[in-house]
Amino acid sequence: MITVRDLSVTFEVGGRDIRAVQAVSFEVARGETFGIVGESGSGKSTVLKAIAGLVRSTSATLEVDGRAAARRRSRADRRMLQFVFQDPYGSLHPRKTIDDILREPLVIHREPDIDARVAAAIADVGLLPAHRFRYPHQLSGGQRQRVAIARALILSPPILLLDEPTSALDVSVQAEILNLLARLRQSYTLTSILVSHDLAVVAHLCDRIAIMRMGRLVEIVSADDLRTGRVTHDYSRQLLAASRGFVRQDA
C-alpha cells in the first residue's frame, strides 16, 4: 500500500543543511498498522510528513497505493491519505465550530449528504451531538483529538497517518483514544502508520515496528519480537531497556 525507498529529507537552517531523514526504506502492506519509534529528533515525524507531502523530500520510490506520490498532489491524491497531528490544541481552527471543521473536507470534495455524515462522524468517534456546534476551546484535549480523528476519517481514506496522537493527552485519555483507534482501524479497514516515542503504545497497536535513530532506520521488528525483546541492534536494546517497565505491563 505504501512503498518508501531511500527517502531523504534535508532542511536548510541558517545556511546549513540538516539531514533530518537519510535513506529510509520500508513497505506497509494493505490493512497493516506500521509503527515508527525513536527518540525526539530521530526523524520519525518527518518521515510521516514526507509521505503526506507536507515536507519536501527526495526518494528513489515513494508510492501510495501503487501510484507515485508527486510533489504537487491533486485533490484525488489528497483523499487517499489523512493525518492526525500530535497536538489537538493546535490542529483545530480556533474560530470554527466542530461542525465547520468536519464539514470542510466534505465541502472541498463536493460530497453529498453533508449534514448526516457530519452527525455520523461525531457519533463514530464517541462524541455527543451536543458537541457539534461548540468551538474547540470549549472541548477537552481528548475530545479535540476525537474531533481530529473524525476529521481525518470523514472522507473514508484508505490510509491514516498518526503523528503521536496520544502524547499530548493525559494517561487515562490516552487509553481511550488508543482503544478508539483500534476499533476504527477495524471498521474502516485502514492502512496506517503510527509514530510514537512510547514503545508500549506502538507494541499495542502495530503489527511491525521500525526503530529510527538520528534520521536513519535502525531495524524493523515485529510487535511480538519487540515485546519479548528479540531485537538485533544495540540501539534497539537500549531503547527497550529504557522503557522496559512499560513493555512488561503491556505484555
Partner 1 sequence: MSTPLGQWLMSEAPLSRRQAVLGSLYRGVRAIFANPTALAGLFIVALLVVMAVFAPWFAMGQSPLSQDLAQRLAAPSPEHWFGTDELGRDIYARTLYGARVTLTIVVLVSVVVVPIGLAVGTVAGYFGGWVDAVLMRVTDIFLAFPRLVLALAFAAALGPGIENAVIAISLTSWPAYARIARSETLAIARSDFIQSVVLQGASTGRILFRHVVPLCLSSVIVRLTLDMAGIILTAAGLGFLGLGAQPPTAEWGAMVSSGRDVILDQWWVATIPGLAIFIVSLGFNLLGDGLRDVFDPKSR
Among residues 46 and 236, whose Cβ is nearest to partner 1?
A: 46
Per CB under 8 A, 81 contacts partner 1: yes
Task: Please report whether residue 130 would count as binding partner 1 according to CB under 8 A.
Answer: yes
82 touches partner 1 by CB under 8 A: yes
Query: What count of Cα atoms within 13 Å lies in the side-chain half-sphere of residue 29?
Result: 5
Closest listed residue to residue 156, CA positions, set 105, 87, 207, 92: 105
Task: Return the sign of the alpha-carbon dihedral for residues 187, 155, 64, 6.
Answer: negative
Q: Specify the residue, 102 or 239, whose C-beta has the smaller distance to partner 1.
A: 102
200, 247 Cβ separation under 8 angstroms:
yes
Tell me which residue of 238, 215, 230 sits closest to 20, measured CA to CA: 215
Stretch that binds partner 1, among 58-66, 84-92, 204-212, 213-221 (CB under 8 A): 84-92
Give the total residue count for the chain.
251
* DSSP string covering 102-148: HHHHHHHTT-S-HHHHHHHHHHHTT--GGGTT--GGGS-HHHHHHHH
Size, binding site for partner 1 by CB under 8 A: 37
Q: How far is the CB of 97 from partner 1 (least distance, A)?
A: 5
- 110 forms part of the interface with partner 1 (CB under 8 A): no
Please count the CA atoms within 13 angstroms of the CA of 178 that sit on its side-chain side.
Answer: 22
56 contacts partner 1 (rule: CB under 8 A): no
Pick the stretch among 73-81, 181-189, 197-205, 219-227 that binds partner 1 (CB under 8 A): 73-81
User: Angle at which helices 98-108 and 141-153 pack, to 10 degrees?
Assistant: 20
By the rule CB under 8 A, 2 interacts with partner 1: no
For residue 179, the minimal CB distance to partner 1 (Å) is 23
- Of residues 49 and 208, the one with the C-beta less far from partner 1: 49
- Spacing of C-alpha 177 from chain mean position: 13
- In whole angstroms, how close is the CB of 239 to partner 1 at the nearest point? 27
**Nearest distance from residue 42's CB to partner 1, in Å?**
20
Note the helical H segments in the chain.
Answer: 44-52, 75-79, 98-108, 114-124, 141-153, 171-188, 199-205, 223-228, 234-242, 244-250
User: Of residues 159-218, which lie at the interface with partner 1 (CB under 8 A)?
Assistant: none
Give min distance, CB of 221 to partner 1, in A. Answer: 29
Instruction: Name the site residues for partner 1 (rule: CB under 8 A).
Output: 52-54, 73-75, 77-79, 81-83, 85-87, 90-95, 97, 99-100, 104-105, 108-109, 130-131, 133-135, 138, 148, 151, 155
